[in-house]
Amino acid sequence: MNQNQRTIAKGIIHNYYFKSIDAKYIAAQLNLSSGYLNVLFKRETNKTIHTYLTEYRLMKAKELLISTPKTIKEIAHEVGFDDPFYLSRIFVKYVSVSPTQYKRPFFHIDFLYRSNITIEHFFIVIIFICMTLSPGRYM
């Protein structure tokens, strides 16, 4: 897989992750078979198309969980998971907590408190969380 094909494959995932796409769809866009695309993609990234897509969708779900009041069901559909229960199972597998726990405002503060970060970084993150929870108040 050349760099252009890898860039296109990742671009398709980044731009259409919320749709029902898979390796077969991406391969068709690149005029490759899905099996061959997966072999090339895994060789280049150490991940299958499916794993890369899942991880990208989870990253987007995590962003929405902490920055919007949307339900887990709404977020699941918004990031390309047809079934919110599947999102929950995959989320626990990759993140080690449920989406509901991740969404709790103080979950991140508690996690940061237990981490070895400087006090300056801790307060920057707290300010960011406060701004995210009520943006009009701090702008």
For 59-88, b where at least 16 C-beta lie within 10 A, e where not — what string? ebbbebbbeeeeebeebbbbbbbeebeebb
Q: Helix, strand or coil for residue 42?
A: helix
Which domains can be identified in the chain, with CATH numbers? 3-97 (1.10.10.60), 104-138 (no CATH)
Terminal Cα distance for the chain, rounded: 46
Q: What is the mean pLDDT of each run of 10 residues along the chain (139 residues)?
A: 83 94 94 92 92 96 89 96 95 92 70 65 74 60
